[in-house]
């Protein structure tokens, strides 16, 4: 089993205090964590990997039946997480990896696809991101359809809405370098803003969230911010969310995926 070790020191910094961590994560997860194992990787392999290899549908096909050669997941699928969202001609729109998985389930496995918010879809997604770890992010924003999503995503990013009249930009650009609820705000991409270096956040999601005790996707993280910012959550997979994903992820183009990440 391929598992990277995490240093306890970084854990303590991330949590502030270890007792806090012990309160919010389950005893089993805490044990893994103390052993230096990222529970997100365990989830990717044991839940996502198992689903990838599980025969389903009328023809008993698994993802692996079509996408594995000599026991290895084929390159284009093993690195897809770095390239998605991508334009899909058969859908006539830009889709993210979660939706690509649904497409293969419907089109090729001939099953009812797992819902975007289901544990199963998140597990398969996390598995593909886990396989793609080390591949540089490359969302092709020169492709005309993707470019439109990029521009729309930037618009959504700057749009003020909700009862506190906030936009993503207010917190992640204007307030970059400031502290909010004891958490420093970093620019999301690679570029520094207000002298604060960016953290290429998209290279770390899906991530195991210690405060939620589960893996969340990038779009689910956006929803968390929308909720905290007093905005109505945008639906997973909506045009607005895919556009936001294209925009935010492209800000980290060139940075290697370190997925699944481990986040507070």
Question: 68-69 and 72-73 as β-strands: parallel, antiparallel, unpaired?
Answer: antiparallel
Q: In angstroms, what is the minimal distance from the CB of 27 to ligand HEC?
A: 25
- Closer to ligand HEC by Cβ: residue 148 or 258: 258
Q: In angstroms, what is the minimal distance from the CB of 32 to ligand HEC?
A: 20
Q: Is 201 exposed, middle or buried (0-12, 13-18, 19+ CB in 10 A)?
A: buried
Q: In angstroms, what is the minimal distance from the CB of 204 to ligand HEC?
A: 5
59 neighbors 66 (Cβ within 8 angstroms) = no
Could you tell me if residue 221 is left (phi over 0), alpha (psi between -120 and 50 degrees) or otherwise beta? alpha
Q: In angstroms, what is the minimal distance from the CB of 243 to ligand HEC?
A: 10
Q: Which residue from 81, 85, 86, 95 is spatially nearest to 203, judged by alpha carbons?
A: 81
Q: In angstroms, what is the minimal distance from the CB of 147 to ligand HEC?
A: 18
- Closer to ligand HEC by Cβ: residue 31 or 110: 110
- Closer to ligand HEC by Cβ: residue 236 or 248: 248
DSSP conformational letter for 166: B
CA 9 centroid distance within chain:
24
User: Using CA atoms in the order 21, 22, 25, 27, what is the torsion angle rounded to 10 degrees?
Assistant: 150
Q: In angstroms, what is the minimal distance from the CB of 198 to ligand HEC?
A: 9
- Positions in the binding site for ligand HEC (CB under 6 A): 61, 63, 65-67, 76-77, 80, 86, 100-101, 104-105, 108-109, 124, 166, 168, 170-172, 180, 183, 185-186, 188, 199, 201, 204, 221-222, 225-226, 228-229, 244, 248, 263
- Closer to ligand HEC by Cβ: residue 37 or 217: 217
Q: What SS3 class is residue 118?
A: coil
- Closer to ligand HEC by Cβ: residue 29 or 252: 252
d(CA 221, CA 205): 9
- Closer to ligand HEC by Cβ: residue 6 or 108: 108
d(CA 52, CA 62): 6
């Amino acid at each position: 089993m391929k598992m990277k070790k995490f240093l306890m020191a970084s854990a303590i910094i991330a949590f502030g205090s270890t007792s806090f961590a012990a309160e919010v994560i389950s005893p089993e997860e805490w044990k893994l964590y103390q052993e230096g194992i990222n529970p997100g990787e365990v989830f990717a392999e044991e839940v996502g990997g198992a689903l990838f290899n599980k025969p389903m549908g009328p023809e008993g096909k698994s993802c692996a039946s079509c996408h594995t050669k000599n026991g290895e997941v084929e390159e284009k699928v093993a690195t897809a997480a770095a390239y998605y969202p991508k334009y899909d001609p058969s859908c006539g729109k830009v889709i993210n990896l979660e939706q690509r998985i649904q497409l293969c389930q419907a089109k090729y496995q001939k099953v009812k696809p797992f819902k975007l918010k289901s544990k199963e879809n998140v597990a398969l997604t996390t598995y593909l991101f886990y396989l793609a770890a080390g591949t540089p992010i490359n969302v092709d924003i020169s492709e005309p359809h993707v470019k439109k999503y990029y521009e729309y995503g930037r618009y959504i990013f700057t749009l003020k809405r909700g009862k506190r009249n906030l936009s993503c930009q207010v917190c992640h650009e204007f307030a970059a370098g400031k502290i909010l609820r004891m958490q420093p705000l970093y620019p999301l991409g690679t570029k520094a803003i207000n002298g604060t270096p960016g953290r290429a956040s998209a290279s770390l999601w899906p991530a195991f969230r210690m405060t939620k005790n589960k893996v969340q996707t990038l779009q689910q993280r956006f929803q968390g911010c929308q909720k905290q910012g007093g905005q109505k959550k945008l639906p997973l997979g909506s045009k607005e969310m895919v556009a936001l994903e294209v925009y935010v992820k492209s800000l980290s183009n060139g940075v290697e995926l370190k997925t699944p990440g481990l986040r507070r």
